[in-house]
Amino acid sequence: MEIAVTNETDIAIFAIKGRLDAVTVPELEQQLNQWFEGTGKKLIFDLEGLDYISSAGLRTFLSTAKKMKVRDGKLCMTRLRDNVKDVFTISGFIALIPAFDTLGAAQDSMR
Amino acid sequence: MLMKKMPARIESLHELLAFIRNEAKKRGFSEKHLQRIELVAEEALVNVFVHGYTHKEGEVEVACLGSDEPAITIEIRDQGISFDPLSLADPDMQSDLADRKIGGMGVFLIRKMADRVDYRREGDSNIFSMTFLNR
């Protein structure tokens, strides 16, 4: 798994590539914890390069959504591949975190 | 039947999943099916890693059955504490974000994505099996 974090204006974009599973999820958690030490209120998960997600990944997305709610921030995801979207749909998580087809639409939703 | 035995630790996950994926691929499953098989296998294996052996080191054994059929049955065997994952209740899908819990999500995905699941206790072993049909 690879994570690239970019900050465009006040929006942080986490581009996650590869596999998000029980082995790799601590890496993402560490990066997120670091980000949460700041005061950012806008976060986008760009999943264009994400091949695979399991419940370990869902757990991190859920805890991120909860933390963002506490600080009255905005969280969304974009460019989900079909199989990743499947997991979000079956788990019902698609209703908890807004998903957009394009990065532009995700950014617009933050404004 | 092909079988692979490894320490019941998270470090074994990728090698076991690669083994399972390869066996399913030999049976002609599509990429879409392979992804689901891998996901379900991960959820079942991680259950064993986390809950199976709480105070000691142990092993997990994965067997892939049904090489002559358009299906695959994956049997996961461990000698940890007696535990039937299928006894877990489904997660509450209706609660809102603040109350939403992740517990039980792994087993929920197993139930939704596998065509057949079964648990049995044989002697000192837990045997959890999952079947996928190739269709």
Residue A57 lies in a domain: yes
Q: Which domain holds residue A74?
A: 2-105
Report the residue of A21, A27, A85 to disrupt the B interface, i.e. the one with the largest count of B CBs within 10 Å.
Answer: A21
Instruction: Name residues of chain A where pLDDT drops below 70.
Output: none
Domains contained in chain A, number: 1
* DSSP β-bridge partners for residue B65: B73
Banded model confidence at residue B1, pLDDT cuts 50, 70, 90: low
Partners of B10 on chain A (C-beta within 8 Å) are 22-23
C-alpha dist (Å) from residue B23 to A81, B1, B26, B105, B118: 24, 10, 5, 26, 20
Report the CATH number that the domain containing residue B35 is assigned in CATH: 3.30.565.10
Percent of chain B clearing pLDDT 70 (strictly above): 99
Partners of A90 on chain B (C-beta within 8 Å) are 109, 112-113
Residue A38 lies in a domain: yes
Mean pLDDT of chain B: 92
Residue A26 lies in a domain: yes
Percent of chain B clearing pLDDT 90 (strictly above): 72
CB-closest option in A59, A65, A83 to B35 = A83
- DSSP E strand stretches across chain B: 2-7, 59-65, 71-78, 116-122, 125-133
Q: Is the pLDDT assigned to residue B102 strictly greater than 80?
A: no
Q: Is the pLDDT assigned to residue B29 strictly greater than 70?
A: yes
C-alpha dist (Å) from residue A44 to A109, B41, B43, B51, B125: 10, 29, 26, 33, 44
d(CA A54, CA A25): 10
Q: Is the pLDDT assigned to residue B98 strictly greater than 80?
A: no
Taking residue A45's Cβ as centre, other Cβ atoms within 10 Å add up to 25
Considering the entire predicted model, what is its pTM?
0.93
Q: Which domain holds residue B13?
A: 2-133
Q: Which two tokens stand for residue B98?
A: 């603040």
What is the Cα Rg of chain A in Å?
13
CB-closest option in A83, A91, A92 to B32 = A83
ipTM, interface predicted TM-score of the complex: 0.92
- Residue in chain A closest to B33 (alpha carbons) equals A83
Quick: pLDDT tens for B46-82: 999 988 888 788 999 999 998 777 899 999 999 999 9
Grouping H, G, I as helix, E, B as strand and the rest as coil, residue A22 is coil
pLDDT at residue A56, rounded to an integer: 96
d(CA A105, CA B112): 31
Domains contained in chain B, number: 1
Average pLDDT over residues B104-123: 95
Q: Is the pLDDT assigned to residue B107 strictly greater than 80?
A: yes
| A29 Cβ under 8 Å from any chain B Cβ | no
Residue A89 lies in a domain: yes
pLDDT at residue B118, rounded to an integer: 97
